[in-house]
A and B are shown apart, each in its own frame.
Chain A
């Protein structure tokens, strides 16, 4: 143990001399200028803004899709949104329904289809009937 304490005493003299220390410090400083630091905060901001864009676009797509789907819910045959109602809304509703409820879903879709057909027929027929009766009266 004594020997190791002697090692400690003698090795304390081992150090950089002033010239070496200065030379190393200068070369380190010039290297640090050559390889500048990218601040972590700055990178976090960049990352956040990139994520923000993605989230914003996704939210926009979702809101627009939900709006179109909601509008298509009341669409009648012949309207621009009717294919969306039949092709997407009804299918999605069917997907979320378990087997036991499938029949009810299909029947709901069918009755909705019949309802909308009736509405369409009425909307076409009523003015025609009204104009015919007016002509007859005259």
Chain B
């Protein structure tokens, strides 16, 4: 019996580390594009995995682990927004734009075009922002997004299209639509 439990523990730990290897970049991107702060995004990724592990370790069952990770990350992002309520995030983005992501080999800076689009995406309601970031930043298909969020594929597609339309309208207003 002890052997079985030991095997179970080992298996769960290995599975969780494999999940980290698979999801770390995607969660990092998700947090980074919503917070526009690399250090904060790193902290949130770490906290997201720690909280998810704590939940699993307490014996509770998680049916959709990827969905759970995104949910925890989103809750942490909301907490961050609340903490920074004094300084409006939108004002901050308008003033400074996005932080440049640092790659190991090269320092990548977003083009002005992408920076503008991202700024407008961040002005959307979180229900549109989440699906657009998942679709265009993390490159998930609508079907994958639906599975992660536990919603229908149709609902996700409609939301993506509405979000895109809203961003397009904002771009038209600022005169940067080409």
Contact residues of A with B, CB < 8 Å? 1, 3-8, 10-21, 24-25, 27-29, 31-32, 35-43, 45
**Segment touching A, from B77-85, B86-94, B103-111, B148-156:** B103-111
Interface hits, B1-48 → A, CB 8 Å: 1, 4-5, 8-9, 12-13, 16-17, 20-21, 24-25, 28-29, 32-33, 42, 45-46
Q: With A31-B53, A37-B57, A39-B5 given, is the CB distance from A16 to B118 under 8 Å? A: no
With an 8 Å Cβ cutoff, the count of chain B residues facing the other chain is 47
Whether, in the assembled complex, B65 has its beta carbon less than 8 Å from a beta carbon of chain A, the answer is: no
- Considering the complex, give the chain B residue whose CB is closest to the CB of A18: B104
- Considering the complex, give the chain A residue whose CB is closest to the CB of B32: A14
Whether, in the assembled complex, B114 has its beta carbon less than 8 Å from a beta carbon of chain A, the answer is: yes
- Considering the complex, give the chain B residue whose CB is closest to the CB of A38: B59
B73 to chain A, nearest CB (A): 14
- Considering the complex, give the chain B residue whose CB is closest to the CB of A9: B114
Give CA–CA (A12, B140) in the complex, Å: 12
Give CA–CA (A18, B104) in the complex, Å: 7
Task: Find chain A residues with CB under 8 A from B4 CB.
Answer: 41
Interface hits, B128-178 → A, CB 8 Å: 132, 136-137, 139, 164, 171
Give CA–CA (A5, B45) in the complex, Å: 25
Task: Find chain B residues with CB under 8 A from A39 CB.
Answer: 5, 8-9, 12, 59
Task: Find chain B residues with CB under 8 A from A25 CB.
Answer: 17, 20-21, 24
What are 12 contact pairs spanning A and B, CB under 8 A? A7-B117, A7-B121, A8-B139, A11-B33, A14-B28, A14-B29, A16-B25, A27-B46, A35-B54, A38-B57, A40-B61, A43-B59
Task: Find chain A residues with CB under 8 A from B53 CB.
Answer: 28, 31-32, 35
Give CA–CA (A1, B178) in the complex, Å: 10
Main secondary structure on A side of the interface with B: helix
- Considering the complex, give the chain A residue whose CB is closest to the CB of B56: A37
Asked whether, in the complex, the Cβ of A35 is within 8 Å of the Cβ of B28, the reply is: no
Given A8-B136, A11-B29, A14-B137, 12 new contacts (CB under 8 A): A4-B132, A6-B114, A10-B111, A16-B24, A16-B28, A16-B42, A24-B45, A25-B20, A29-B17, A37-B12, A37-B57, A39-B59
- Considering the complex, give the chain B residue whose CB is closest to the CB of A11: B137
- Selected contact of A4 from candidates B28, B111, B136, CB within 8 Å: B136
Asked whether, in the complex, the Cβ of A3 is within 8 Å of the Cβ of B117, the reply is: yes
Task: Find chain A residues with CB under 8 A from B108 CB.
Answer: 10, 13-14
Task: Find chain B residues with CB under 8 A from A1 CB.
Answer: 164
Give CA–CA (A117, B132) in the complex, Å: 92
